[in-house]
């Protein structure tokens, strides 16, 4: 088993294109080996439609540059579809469920994965801070659950259109040789056009 500390960074632009439909462009960088080497760089485009106040769905594509241990770069494509449900429990508590079906690979091989993420959010009283905890598992056709992510996060609006999120995540792998446990510090900027 291997342990590693990683840092993940991303910047997103959101734009409402028609009623109840948003387009998101996101770019990200991930560092591994105690945040000293490149792991991944990606560009993601997603269109999301809000069906009603609880349900939304999305289609997306991600282009990924992935660095291996020898620092050779390989390219991958990810196609995905999301089905989301969110609801308020109280004025300050809410929860969300995201189901994602993704197909990811290179020119020679693609792998289908189901990812389900369960999140609980709390708006901290008398502040602009939103806190969250979530857990996400990945399920492939070959294995049972092969990856588990647990996250705690804080989100703060820097301005009317700009939000910053800081998160700490633990990711565990299963059913692979030398399973990795990653300890991840993540920073996100989200700008709403």
pLDDT at 10 (0 to 100): 98
pLDDT at 102 (0 to 100): 96
Closest by Cα among 135, 143, 140 to 171: 135
pLDDT at 87 (0 to 100): 96
Percent of the chain with pLDDT over 90: 85
pLDDT-based confidence at residue 4 (cuts at 50, 70, 90): very high
pLDDT at 145 (0 to 100): 86
Give the residue-averaged pLDDT of 85-107: 95
The per-residue pLDDT for range 46-84, each reduced to its tens digit, is: 999 999 999 999 999 999 999 988 888 999 999 999 999
The greatest distance separating any two alpha carbons of the chain, rounded to the nearest whole angstrom, comes to: 53
Residue 122 has pLDDT above 90, yes or no: yes
E strands, the chain, are 2-18, 21-32, 37-50, 55-67, 73-88, 93-105, 110-123, 130-140, 145-157, 162-173, 180-192
Q: Which residues pair with 60 in a beta bridge?
A: 46, 80
Residue 1 has pLDDT above 80, yes or no: no
pLDDT at 176 (0 to 100): 81
pLDDT-based confidence at residue 169 (cuts at 50, 70, 90): very high
- Report the relative pairing of strands 110-123 and 93-105 from DSSP bridges: antiparallel
How far, in Å, CA of 138 to CA of 149, rounded? 9
Residue 191 has pLDDT above 90, yes or no: yes
- Please check whether residue 85 is in contact with residue 54, taking contact to mean a CB–CB distance below 8 angstroms: yes
Mean pLDDT over each residue of the chain, to the nearest integer: 94
Categorise residue 36: left if φ over 0, alpha if ψ from -120 to 50, beta otherwise: alpha
Q: Which residue has the tokens 């241990």?
A: 69
pLDDT at 55 (0 to 100): 98
User: Which two three-digit tokens encode residue 190?
Assistant: 């989200």
């Amino acid at each position: 088993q291997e342990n590693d500390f990683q840092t993940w960074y991303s910047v997103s632009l959101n734009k409402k294109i028609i009623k109840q439909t948003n387009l998101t462009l996101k770019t990200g960088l991930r560092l591994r080996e105690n945040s000293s080497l490149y792991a991944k760089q990606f560009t993601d485009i997603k269109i999301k439609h809000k069906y009603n106040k609880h349900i939304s769905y999305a289609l997306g594509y991600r282009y990924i540059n992935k660095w291996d241990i020898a620092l050779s770069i390989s390219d991958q494509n990810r196609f995905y579809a999301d089905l989301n449900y969110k609801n308020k429990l109280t004025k300050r508590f809410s929860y969300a469920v995201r189901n994602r079906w993704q197909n990811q690979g290179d020119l020679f091989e693609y792998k289908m994965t189901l990812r389900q993420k369960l999140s609980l959010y709390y708006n901290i009283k008398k502040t602009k801070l939103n806190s969250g905890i979530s857990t996400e598992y990945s399920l492939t056709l070959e294995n049972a659950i092969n990856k588990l992510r647990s996250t705690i996060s804080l989100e703060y609006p820097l301005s009317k259109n700009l939000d910053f999120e800081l998160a700490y995540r633990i990711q565990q792998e299963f059913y692979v040789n030398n399973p990795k446990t990653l300890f991840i510090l993540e920073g996100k900027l989200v700008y709403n056009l």
